[in-house]
Chain A
């Protein structure tokens, strides 16, 4: 795509004024422009301004003639000499009437004045004709014709020819149109079509110059940028550029009687009045506008500029809040609870505003396509819900053709905090966490419960195992075996029965968590008797408990004191090495507590432990540990009362162990 650049020279760049009424390029390639305050020259890139050349500095036109520049004001025609940045007035020729314009034709300079057409000849103005001339407004020449427009809605064509030595202008054509208004400009093409630009009525296209001419009027409604037509220029492709009060349009013939009008200035983004248009080198155009001298390097490809109507979003405001303009240089963020907004947009096309329409599309809102064209230049969206929106707006040209230029605005309506991702993830995380914690807690509780149950079961089983100490069992049997060897039937039978009774008691009781005190008491007694037999009566024992206690309702865990009794025998009495061991077991009630008192006269714990250390194969007894755990379980919240007293004699020597067990029954 070729770059279609737009260059502007104005007073800021050194021109005498912004307004440019006429432009001409000299044979040396120097550009001369005229305006209200003098003449501007662009010479090889340098800009010169010449003001104050004459009393009246408003030059209406400027032409090159015989190597000199000639400018015309309402009062004078002046010959100017320009040489490398300097200009001086060579001659001043007062005009017979108000000067209007200049034309060069057939190497002659023709001067149009208000009421006459003059030939500049020999530093003098020679009247060519006054035929049908009345209040001339513009002059145009082509080939051998001079065209004049006037205030009287008339256009006249004169043939310029030489008769002998005399130049003549002979009237040939004349058109009068009702709506012509003031004629600003005239142009003719090669096909006998004449274009007439007016002050307020648009342009007229007059066909068939001879015989009953047909005219067609083109106005804003037909697509022109403005009804004020100031200048014409034919392009090499025979399309016509029209300088209007609001930029430049292009009229191309697309078929018989069918025309296409493009608003070119919209493409370039300017809209000032264009008084003069000439072709520059290349495909460039020079426009004399009210804002300066405009250079366009080439025109856009045919179709592109028709839909290049510019559009921009001018402001966004919150409807609920006064003076709440929002910065739209960045994507707009709004709160979910203040999201009624009004978006204002505009197209900087200063002409033709009535026919200018807009179409918008709020993507993200559910709107599926562009809205119907509207002339409104703002749209209001009430209560936008949270989310991301893209607002797009475009302008529609006179034919309803949408412009490809689209203005967009990104809109973010922030969700309420409880719908933001971080809040939701926080909630999710908290929920997950609490669930995990709850589940874990529950699992722990279950596990603990299971462990507790297992501990009870294990302690019961271990208790049973402890009582059923296989060593004890087999030694008992071995003892009974001895009676059999001796043929001592009574003893063998008696001890076998005792043994059987003990085993039965243990097995029976092991089913129950608690058993009556008396049952356990008698099992303990049997156990002691059998131990006595094993040890060959190495110790004596007594068991003391009141009848009321034994007959009472008290229930205790089975075999709970047995481990302590066993301990008294095996780690206390047995190490004595003599036969005077004594174990005293007492049961009594003290403050709702059942107290067992197991007292032995063995070697004491200290000595026993020392002996055990020497014995690597000693049977590891869990009996006492288990018993203490069972006592704790049985006593529940009550403090476990288990006391082990190392008895000492007067000299401090150990003389046995005493165990006190308290059960909350």
Chain B
């Protein structure tokens, strides 16, 4: 049983979400619905929910502001938003969950499933801290991102990420001076959130931080050699883009 509250200023959205939850997520018990952050804060204090569906854009107090008012967060959050690319980016950097409105039922079920399967049933404090940071530093490339793992999540500095390797639905992240890390997200998702000026998808199976490339071996697609000696194949179709990126990167440096 997951005790849940919904916070959304638009009644129609709220109702729509509620109906979908009732129909498709039997493990959820809805304890209440609230139209803004102030009401939500109040409710969280009283109800101590396990999960909060939190709309981001709300009058008086938006979702993020509401979260930052809470000293202790013993609950998971699934953000809901109609459209706010910027907010979505911040959520993704923090490895948090979100749903876009109108809510797709499959996404809803998957999100709830992830909450259910978590060993620790709350978003770690530091993860929300990270989110606040990203929101604070509007429009700049983050230095760190949170990466969800089977055990929870880890916060990684982007500049320490050598390259990322696809392993089915997981991604192996190779780090400088640290053991590789397996993240529970696809390589494609990382490609979307990592800055494209530094990370290049050189192959179906690899996303490389170009600042670590020390050598390029010519070939059909060629190969890149990283500072630690790793040799990675470059797909023929990715070659031009890579070389271009390296050139512009070199210019910046």
Report yes or no: A482 in contact with B15, Cβ–Cβ below 8 A. yes
The residue from A473, A475, A483, A575 contacting B60, defined by CB atoms under 8 A apart: A575
Interface flag for B128 (CB, 8 Å): no
Interface flag for B118 (CB, 8 Å): no
Report yes or no: A475 in contact with B16, Cβ–Cβ below 8 A. no
When distances are taken between beta carbons in the complex, the residues of chain B under 8 Å from A536 are: 10-12
Report yes or no: B10 in contact with A534, Cβ–Cβ below 8 A. yes
The 3 closest A-B pairs by CB, nearest first: A474-B82, A479-B12, A470-B83
Given A478-B102, A482-B16, A536-B10; A471-B82 close (CB under 8 Å): yes
Using CB atoms, name the residue of chain A closest to B80: A478
Report yes or no: A615 in contact with B13, Cβ–Cβ below 8 A. no
The residue from A472, A479, A485 contacting B19, defined by CB atoms under 8 A apart: A485
Report yes or no: A473 in contact with B83, Cβ–Cβ below 8 A. yes
Interface flag for B65 (CB, 8 Å): yes
Using CB atoms, name the residue of chain B closest to A479: B12
Q: Complex formed: what's the CA distance from A617 to B84 in Å? A: 8
When distances are taken between beta carbons in the complex, the residues of chain B under 8 Å from A617 are: 56-57, 62, 64, 84, 86-87, 90, 135, 138
Q: Interface digits, B112-146 against A, CB 8 Å rule (1 contact, 0 not)?
A: 00000000000000000000000110100000000
Report yes or no: B101 in contact with A475, Cβ–Cβ below 8 A. yes
The distance from the CB of B135 to the nearest CB of chain A, in whole angstroms, is: 5
Report yes or no: A485 in contact with B57, Cβ–Cβ below 8 A. no
Report yes or no: A485 in contact with B20, Cβ–Cβ below 8 A. yes
Report yes or no: B62 in contact with A485, Cβ–Cβ below 8 A. no
Q: Can you report 6 residue pairs joining A to B where beta carbons are below 8 Å apart?
A: A471-B83, A474-B101, A474-B102, A485-B15, A615-B65, A617-B87
The residue from B36, B57, B61, B65 contacting A619, defined by CB atoms under 8 A apart: B57
Report yes or no: A479 in contact with B10, Cβ–Cβ below 8 A. yes
Using CB atoms, name the residue of chain A closest to B19: A485
Q: Complex formed: what's the CA distance from A595 to B108 in Å? A: 48
Given A485-B20, A533-B12; A478-B82 close (CB under 8 Å): yes
Using CB atoms, name the residue of chain B closest to A485: B19
When distances are taken between beta carbons in the complex, the residues of chain A under 8 Å from B45 are: none
Using CB atoms, name the residue of chain A closest to B22: A485
Report yes or no: A575 in contact with B102, Cβ–Cβ below 8 A. no
Interface flag for A514 (CB, 8 Å): no
Q: Complex formed: what's the CA distance from A534 to B103 in Å? A: 16
Interface flag for A107 (CB, 8 Å): no
The residue from B12, B36, B60 contacting A482, defined by CB atoms under 8 A apart: B12
When distances are taken between beta carbons in the complex, the residues of chain A under 8 Å from B100 are: 474
Interface flag for A611 (CB, 8 Å): yes
Most buried by A among B13, B82, B84, B100: B82
Report yes or no: B64 in contact with A616, Cβ–Cβ below 8 A. yes
Report yes or no: B102 in contact with A611, Cβ–Cβ below 8 A. no
Using CB atoms, name the residue of chain A closest to B14: A482
Chain B, 149-175, CB within 8 A of any chain A CB:
none
When distances are taken between beta carbons in the complex, the residues of chain A under 8 Å from B222 are: none
Chain A, 454-492, CB within 8 A of any chain B CB:
470-475, 477-479, 481-483, 485-486
Residue tally, chain B, CB below 8 Å to A:
31
When distances are taken between beta carbons in the complex, the residues of chain B under 8 Å from A577 are: 36, 59-60
Report yes or no: B135 in contact with A616, Cβ–Cβ below 8 A. yes
Chain A residues within CB distance 8 Å of chain B: 470-475, 477-479, 481-483, 485-486, 533-536, 570, 574-575, 577, 611, 614-619
When distances are taken between beta carbons in the complex, the residues of chain B under 8 Å from A614 are: 61, 65
Q: Complex formed: what's the CA distance from A318 to B135 in Å? A: 93
Using CB atoms, name the residue of chain A closest to B137: A616
Q: Complex formed: what's the CA distance from A255 to B64 in Å? A: 130
When distances are taken between beta carbons in the complex, the residues of chain B under 8 Å from A481 are: 12, 16, 102-103
Using CB atoms, name the residue of chain A closest to B87: A617
Chain B residues within CB distance 8 Å of chain A: 9-13, 15-16, 19-20, 36, 56-57, 59-62, 64-65, 82-84, 86-87, 90, 100-103, 135-136, 138
Q: Complex formed: what's the CA distance from A477 to B83 in Å? A: 12
Q: Complex formed: what's the CA distance from A473 to B102 in Å? A: 10
The distance from the CB of B91 to the nearest CB of chain A, in whole angstroms, is: 10
When distances are taken between beta carbons in the complex, the residues of chain A under 8 Å from B84 are: 471, 617, 619
Report yes or no: A478 in contact with B57, Cβ–Cβ below 8 A. no
Q: Complex formed: what's the CA distance from A486 to B20 in Å? A: 11
Using CB atoms, name the residue of chain B closest to A475: B82
When distances are taken between beta carbons in the complex, the residues of chain A under 8 Å from B103 are: 478, 481
Using CB atoms, name the residue of chain A closest to B9: A574
The distance from the CB of A648 to the nearest CB of chain B, in whole angstroms, is: 22
Given A471-B83, A616-B135; A478-B64 close (CB under 8 Å): no
The distance from the CB of B35 to the nearest CB of chain A, in whole angstroms, is: 9
When distances are taken between beta carbons in the complex, the residues of chain B under 8 Å from A616 are: 64, 135-136, 138
The distance from the CB of A574 to the nearest CB of chain B, in whole angstroms, is: 4
The residue from A471, A478, A574 contacting B12, defined by CB atoms under 8 A apart: A478
When distances are taken between beta carbons in the complex, the residues of chain A under 8 Å from B13 are: 475, 478-479, 482
Q: Complex formed: what's the CA distance from A324 to B72 in Å? A: 112
The distance from the CB of A539 to the nearest CB of chain B, in whole angstroms, is: 12
The distance from the CB of B79 to the nearest CB of chain A, in whole angstroms, is: 11
Report yes or no: A611 in contact with B83, Cβ–Cβ below 8 A. no
The distance from the CB of B163 to the nearest CB of chain A, in whole angstroms, is: 32
Using CB atoms, name the residue of chain B closest to A575: B59
When distances are taken between beta carbons in the complex, the residues of chain B under 8 Å from A611 are: 59-60
- Additional 18 contacts, C-beta under 8 A, given A481-B12, A485-B20: A470-B82, A472-B82, A475-B101, A478-B82, A479-B13, A481-B103, A482-B19, A485-B15, A485-B16, A485-B19, A533-B12, A574-B9, A575-B59, A575-B60, A614-B65, A617-B84, A617-B135, A619-B57
The distance from the CB of A53 to the nearest CB of chain B, in whole angstroms, is: 111
Report yes or no: A471 in contact with B57, Cβ–Cβ below 8 A. yes
Q: Complex formed: what's the CA distance from A473 to B84 in Å? A: 12
When distances are taken between beta carbons in the complex, the residues of chain B under 8 Å from A534 are: 10, 12
Report yes or no: B135 in contact with A475, Cβ–Cβ below 8 A. no
Most buried by A among B20, B64, B87, B101: B101
Given A536-B10, A617-B56; A474-B83 close (CB under 8 Å): yes
Given A471-B84, A485-B19, A616-B135; A478-B59 close (CB under 8 Å): no
Q: Complex formed: what's the CA distance from A481 to B15 in Å? A: 10
Most buried by A among B15, B19, B135: B15
The distance from the CB of A492 to the nearest CB of chain B, in whole angstroms, is: 11
Report yes or no: A478 in contact with B101, Cβ–Cβ below 8 A. yes
When distances are taken between beta carbons in the complex, the residues of chain B under 8 Å from A479 are: 10, 12-13, 16
When distances are taken between beta carbons in the complex, the residues of chain B under 8 Å from A535 are: 10
When distances are taken between beta carbons in the complex, the residues of chain A under 8 Å from B20 are: 485
Q: Complex formed: what's the CA distance from A476 to B69 in Å? A: 30
Most buried by B among A478, A536, A574: A478
Using CB atoms, name the residue of chain B closest to A481: B102
Q: Complex formed: what's the CA distance from A575 to B35 in Å? A: 12
The distance from the CB of B14 to the nearest CB of chain A, in whole angstroms, is: 8
Most buried by A among B13, B64, B86: B13
